[in-house]
Amino acid sequence: MSATVIDGKAFAATVRQKVGGHVARLKEEHGITPGLAVVLVGEDPASQVYVRSKGKMTLEVGMASYEHKLEIDTSEADLLALIAQLNADPKIHGILVQLPLPPHLDSDLVINAIDPAKDVDGFHISNVGLLGTGQKSMVPCTPLGCLMMLRDHHGSLSGMNAVVIGRSNIVGKPMANLLLGDSCTVTIAHSRTKDLPGVVRQADIVIAAVGRPEMVIGDWIKPGATVIDVGINRIDKPEGGTRLVGDAEYASCAAVAGAITPVPGGVGPMTIACLLANTITACCRANGLAEPEGLTV
């Protein structure tokens, strides 16, 4: 068997196009331009790349992009003052603080200072609680992107066995909640799980969110299962240079799976598309307008 490749890059383009259509409608019919503010503290190279591409995509769909680049030694008080200002600004519908923050800043405190209605990353404790209790919330972008791809590929996920490998607050736990919300039977596996290969072999859906290059191998995959690979790892090539790989070993998993997301070109592009989708959702909610179908859960 050779797996169907779930093309996250192409799917993300359709999501962005849909978002762009809603942005145009909001401008024409209501005179509203959705605005996304991104806050970056320090000069971490990977974070700078992410912030740049978020800003570029925000402008491409017609939204307003507000970038706040702060010095690495910015005090917590100054950062909280900026967040208070963005919370109060009606032009801003989404606020994202790029993580990780420098160690002298308390990430939980900072994230929980964001107005939950503008928390387009879905990390505020109120949004975590709302998602955990199956209520309308802002949903973290990476798991939302994974769910959109799964729904698109399978239609209903009801009754499927899903194994999420990884229990982080930004991927594993919200992913498990979303799958539960779609009536999957969900197992969360982690670094202390006994017989991980045996657990994964039960899965109709495998979400690999571990941060270990090519850890999940084809021998662990039930024939026909769907593999969603969240991992982004840069490894050295034998001939020199580096390449990106996921948390699943692509070739061996694709030989057994029914469907699989590639790395790059799978989950990654969907994450930014879902950030834009969340900003539209937040903008519609803030203005008492019906939120677009299919852009959130």
User: Per rule CB under 6 A, is residue 30 in the interface with ligand NAD?
Assistant: no
- The token pair at 132 is 């955990």
**How many CA atoms within 13 Å lie on the side-chain side of 64?**
15
Q: Which of 26, 111 has the CB closer to ligand NAD?
A: 111
For ligand NAD, the binding residue among 47, 112, 126, 168 (CB under 6 A) is 168
Task: Figure out which of the listed residues 74, 127, 261, 271 binds ligand NAD, where binding follows CB under 6 A.
Answer: 271
**Which window, 29-37, 40-48, 111-119, 159-167, contacts ligand NAD (CB under 6 A)?**
159-167
Tokens standing for residue 151: 């729904």
For 211-214, the CB contacts below 8 A with 24+ separation are: 211/166, 211/247, 212/247, 213/245, 213/246, 213/247, 214/245, 214/246, 214/247, 214/248, 214/249, 214/250
Judged by CB, which is closer to ligand NAD: 208, or 280? 208
Q: Which of 35, 122, 166, 174 binds ligand NAD (CB under 6 A)?
A: 166
3 state DSSP class of 57: helix
How many residues lie near ligand NAD (CB under 6 A)?
25
The reply on whether position 54 binds ligand NAD by CB under 6 A is no
The answer to whether residues 279 and 93 touch, using CB atoms and an 8 Å cutoff, is yes
Inter-residue contact 32 to 76 (CB < 8 Å): no
Q: Which of residues 193-222 bind ligand NAD (CB under 6 A)?
A: 193, 196, 209-212
* Cα distances (Å, whole numbers) of residue 38 to 41, 68, 254: 10, 6, 36
| CA–CA distance, 278 with 184 (Å, rounded to integer) | 24
Residue 143 binds ligand NAD (CB under 6 A): no
Contacting residue, 107, 161, 233, 252, with ligand NAD by CB under 6 A: 233
Catalytic positions are 54, 98, 121
Which spans of this chain sit near ligand NAD (rule: CB under 6 A)? 142, 165-168, 170-172, 189-191, 193, 196, 209-212, 230-233, 247, 267-268, 271
